[in-house]
Structure 1
Amino acid sequence: MCIGYIEPFQFFLNKPLNMSEQSLSISDDMRLICSGSTTTTAYCLDDFESSIKCSKRLLIRYQNNLLLLQTNTSGALKQNCSTKWRFISQLDDGAVKENLSNCSPIRAFLPGNKNTLHIEQYTLLDDNEKTIARCTLYHLSNADHSLIFGVSQPLRGYDAEHALLQEFLCKHGAAAINSYADIYAQCGFDQPVYNAKPKLDISVDAPAIETAAHLIEVSINVSRQNEEGIKADYDTEFLHDYRVSLRKVRSVLSLFKGVYSEADTAALKQDFSDIMKETNRLRDLDVYLLDRQELFELLPVRMHVGLEQMFDAFAVERKKQLQQVKKMLNGKSYQHSIQSLQDKFSSADKLSAGPKALVASLPFATKLIWKRYGKVCQIARQIETTTPDEEIHQLRIQCKKLRYLMEFFSTLFPQKMLKDLIKSLKRLQDNLGRFNDFSIQQESLQEFLTTYAKKHRNQNLIPMAESI
């Protein structure tokens, strides 16, 4: 069923238009003609967080073109792209790039299954053979699904005539599109929407050990959803989310003291630490390489030669580290360890309970959050311009633990108030994080230069040393 007049008119069609005579009469003085068609291979694109699908849009790549369909006044947008395009920064300036600016610049756009795309161009002519509107039909199909959708657009001053075209299309089975999200499932891109911070189902009266197991089980599940993306090296956020999720597991084990026995807590913390340390260097290199452009902008041009040397070396080392991480993730030892850890939190009887295991979640959460807040305030009051970097680093760690606790127990407290607190805390934590990154990088880059120099004695490293 069609709704009221929309400009442009975007619609689903239940069957192709019957163009046996190469034109269709819309009224006594208007006719619709097919002005061209093409058939090609096409892929629906989205990032791992389903940014396009969740915004009810549709992004299609065919040949060297990107087509963005969205239910607003812009309708269908198109621009050229490389077949190897993955990131927004790799696109030339254009209508599609501009409208993707709200998507993460460090998330890759990934293709779904292969589809066949048949495009038909139509022109609406008046009795003087003048073009007064245009319409494009897209027939997207694969082995399992087939659907037709289209966009019609009037030329300026011909809104009334376009309304008649819309009425004609509705009589031929057109139904207005309110969202393009459902098309993804029909085109073989039906992965569930990934959420790095899924909603946690916690009851105020649930025993602390039950809540801890739920938090850890959810976090492990999030980390494991990122394994394939890490191995495929789609983008660096897969490793980042993987590590954050495992770090949250370790935080639960550290912060929920007395929920599990001391022996189990120590063993579990060590198990997760052993897994995470395998990815430490790869993440460090990712951070360096992500900051590449910023560093080039900060340093004078005369130091760029040294930066090029350094980042070339980082890129080479990253390839080696990635292979090691892939080997680890594919290995039987890791698969057995991570599955064993998952199993331990799937049942209440697989771990020994501590003295606080049965404390209700709400009073347990309140006490933990208040205690951590006190530690943050204690350290923050002592911060001044001469404070050593290590103490600022400790403030960052305590802020992170406080934020994790607030996120873990967010459903137990007023949402608006907690959301504002977490947002402010996140902003502070980000600033402290950048300070810590710069502080650590000073030492790690010096260490890198020393190690690199020993391995490349015949190479001129003066430019690199100057840039560091």
Structure 2
Amino acid sequence: MSAREATRKVRRASRREVLWVCPDGVEADAALAVAALPSRVAWGVWRREIFDVLDTGDGDLTRAGLAVVAEDGQMRLCRAGRWQARGALARQDLAPGGGAGGPAAAPVRPTGALAARLPRRLASRTLEVVGRLRRQVRAGTWRDEAGRVVARLRLEAVSAADDGPSRRVTLLRVTLPVADRAVGRAIVQACRQAGLQRRSVLALAGLQARLLGLPDPAVVRPRCTAPAEAPAGPAAMALAAALLDAMRRYEDGIRRDLDPECLHLYRVQLRRLRTLLSLLRRVLPPTLQDGPREVLRALAKRSNPLRDLDVLLQDEAACRRQLPEDLQPCLDKAFALMRRRRNLERGRLVGLLRSPRYAAALDDLRQAFLTAAATPAEGAAAAPIGHVVHRRVEKLFRRLVRRAERLPRGTSDADFHRLRVQCKRLRYLVDLFRPALAAAPAAGLTAVLKDLQAVLGSLNDQAVQRRHLQELIQQPVAAAASWPAAVEAALARRLDRRRRLLARRARQRLRALRGRSVARLVRRLGDREAAAADAVARAPAGRPV
């Protein structure tokens, strides 16, 4: 028998962690010591620490289940709720004076190993100190009657620096070094007898958000909260007001130029709001059927140039990898010109966001939405929201499938773009009203549309990059720099190769979209009984952490 085969047959001891939360008024160490008899629990001394937690302004990092902790002049990436240095995934040095005990750290961008461990969407975001936490830790062991260690305990009392009564929590982590079911059942029984409440490890992200006072996900990414039988008009108007509030949360980040993602997320909420007002136009009050759409269309048009330049500049590293070292100076001048153009477009957009006219227009729009949401529904607006949305989804899906079937072999960028817009509108509608639809079909259809939209979005970004690069090559500055033909040819080859790959992927996704399984998901969206059962299951807001 080889060494590899012998190793493969060895059963390794598993380590499993169970998370418990101590309700207010329960002293976990004392209660557990009584409940654990005849076993014996021994505790060590308390260790205390204080640290800053960095995140985006909307808590994007915490929602991804991650945390960046600043302490002793260094920040480390950890899992949410696991702030100790031992479990760090990556580290990055801070500027002098940053971290716990010093002044609030300035906004910082992840770099190096820390940025590499983050999802691509989060690696470009700017992090700021969103709160300071105090943590008291006490380690312990759980021994049986024979004195054998059957579990290792870790008691953590975590609170916000302001000591708010609703921002404190006590956790008990139980690690079972040996996979013994009998021991596990005995520990679970003792913890319940002590008054502790079991939680999933996934709840740590919500715990971290509550401690730091981060916005609720329902505020950052609003969805319809009305049941399927609710009147469509008021439900749509309440959601429109929530979407407008979510969109305006990113204005400060755009004005401060924190990161390009602020503008992207601003535009995402703007598109979701435009989709809502356009697709459910018949259930809206007559005064809100056209005016708001014109205002929002103008906002989207004003922000388009800045977003296109952000996407192009984010692809700078990929462009440079396609060219040899001796041709890099030409790209230096081209991207410097793009940055100057971006600064100009950003100045125009920030001027709009700071104008009293912009603030007054959106304030009036929000008030109109809230007034319409509080008005009793009549006529088409009184139809059940679940039925109205399901009919619109079916119509949009049939239209999308017909366009996909008629797609010519040599599809142009404009054809792909029109297909992308239809896909995006359908996905936004399903996602916005998912609580009013059958949950399982809505989740399945959203996943299919999201996958297709990602490929079509990459195709659109590639078309925008080509257009901007051609404009730059024709600029007088670039012509004066005697732009070599080799540079243009190398970039064209790269973009053509990338486009062929993306077009092939897009056709594969479109063939899957025309399959029977996707059509079955669309039909099942309007299952009233399933939607009602899902609403009942979602009714509890979740057990408090």
Q: TM-score when scaled to structure 1?
A: 0.69
Which residue identity lines up with residue 76 of structure 2 in the other structure? L
Q: 1:60 matched to which residue of 2?
A: 69
1:325 pairs with 349, 365, 377, which one? 349
Deviation at 1:75, TM superposition (A): 7.0
Q: Structure 2: how far apart are the matches of 1:439 and 1:80? A: 37
Q: 1:111 matched to which residue of 2?
A: 129
Per-residue deviation, residues 376-423 of structure 1 (Å, max 9, x unmatched): 111111113223332222222221222122223322322112211111
- After superposition, the Cα gap between the structure-2 partners of 1:190 and 1:435, relative to the gap in structure 1 and judged at 3 Å, is closer
Q: Structure 2: how far apart are the matches of 1:151 and 1:202? A: 37
2:453 pairs with 402, 416, 429, which one? 429
Q: 1:166 matched to which residue of 2?
A: none
Q: 1:82 matched to which residue of 2?
A: 93
Q: Structure 2: how far apart are the matches of 1:117 and 1:352? A: 50
> Gaps spanning 5+ residues in structure 2: where?
1-14, 27-43, 96-106, 139-153, 178-195, 493-545
Q: 1:310 matched to which residue of 2?
A: 334
SS of 1:104 mapped into structure 2: helix
Quote the RMSD (CA, aligned, Å): 4.8
Does 2:377 match 1:356?
Answer: no
> Gaps spanning 5+ residues in structure 1: where?
1-5, 15-31, 121-134, 157-174
Deviation at 1:436, TM superposition (A): 2.4
Q: 1:92 matched to which residue of 2?
A: 113
Q: Structure 1: how far apart are the matches of 2:240 and 2:52? A: 36
SS of 2:364 mapped into structure 1: helix
Q: Structure 2: how far apart are the matches of 1:53 and 1:286? A: 25
Q: 2:56 matched to which residue of 1?
A: 47
Does 2:359 match 1:345?
Answer: no
Per-residue deviation, residues 24-73 of structure 1 (Å, max 9, x unmatched): xxxxxxxx999xx999x952112345355457765321243437476679
- After superposition, the Cα gap between the structure-2 partners of 1:113 and 1:357, relative to the gap in structure 1 and judged at 3 Å, is closer
Deviation at 1:77, TM superposition (A): 3.4
1:380 pairs with 399, 404, 411, which one? 404
- After superposition, the Cα gap between the structure-2 partners of 1:110 and 1:386, relative to the gap in structure 1 and judged at 3 Å, is same
Q: Structure 2: how far apart are the matches of 1:148 and 1:254? A: 45
Instruction: Judge conservation of contact 1:261–1:354 (CA < 8 Å) in 2.
Output: no
Instruction: Judge conservation of contact 1:69–1:76 (CA < 8 Å) in 2.
Output: no
Report the number of matched residues: 413
SS of 1:45 mapped into structure 2: strand
Q: Structure 2: how far apart are the matches of 1:297 and 1:192? A: 40
Instruction: Judge conservation of contact 1:264–1:352 (CA < 8 Å) in 2.
Output: no
Q: Structure 1: how far apart are the matches of 2:75 and 2:358? A: 41
- After superposition, the Cα gap between the structure-2 partners of 1:299 and 1:402, relative to the gap in structure 1 and judged at 3 Å, is farther
Which of the pair is proportionally richer in helix?
2
Q: More deviation in 307-316 or 56-65?
A: 56-65
1:445 pairs with 469, 482, 487, which one? 469
Q: More deviation in 255-264 or 283-292?
A: 255-264
Q: 2:360 matched to which residue of 1?
A: 336
Instruction: Judge conservation of contact 1:57–1:181 (CA < 8 Å) in 2.
Output: yes
Q: Structure 2: how far apart are the matches of 1:315 and 1:378? A: 41
Q: TM-score when scaled to structure 2?
A: 0.61
- Give matches, 1:395-414, under 5 Å: 395-414=419-438
- After superposition, the Cα gap between the structure-2 partners of 1:265 and 1:448, relative to the gap in structure 1 and judged at 3 Å, is farther
Q: Structure 1: how far apart are the matches of 2:20 and 2:399? A: 58
1:241 pairs with 259, 265, 288, which one? 265
SS of 1:92 mapped into structure 2: helix
Q: Structure 2: how far apart are the matches of 1:215 and 1:198? A: 7
SS of 1:61 mapped into structure 2: strand
Q: More deviation in 203-212 or 421-430?
A: 203-212
Deviation at 1:257, TM superposition (A): 3.6
Q: Structure 1: how far apart are the matches of 2:240 and 2:411? A: 35
Deviation at 1:272, TM superposition (A): 0.9
Q: Structure 1: how far apart are the matches of 2:65 and 2:413? A: 45
Does 2:294 match 1:285?
Answer: no
Identity over the aligned pairs, expressed in percent? Answer: 21
Q: 2:30 matched to which residue of 1?
A: none
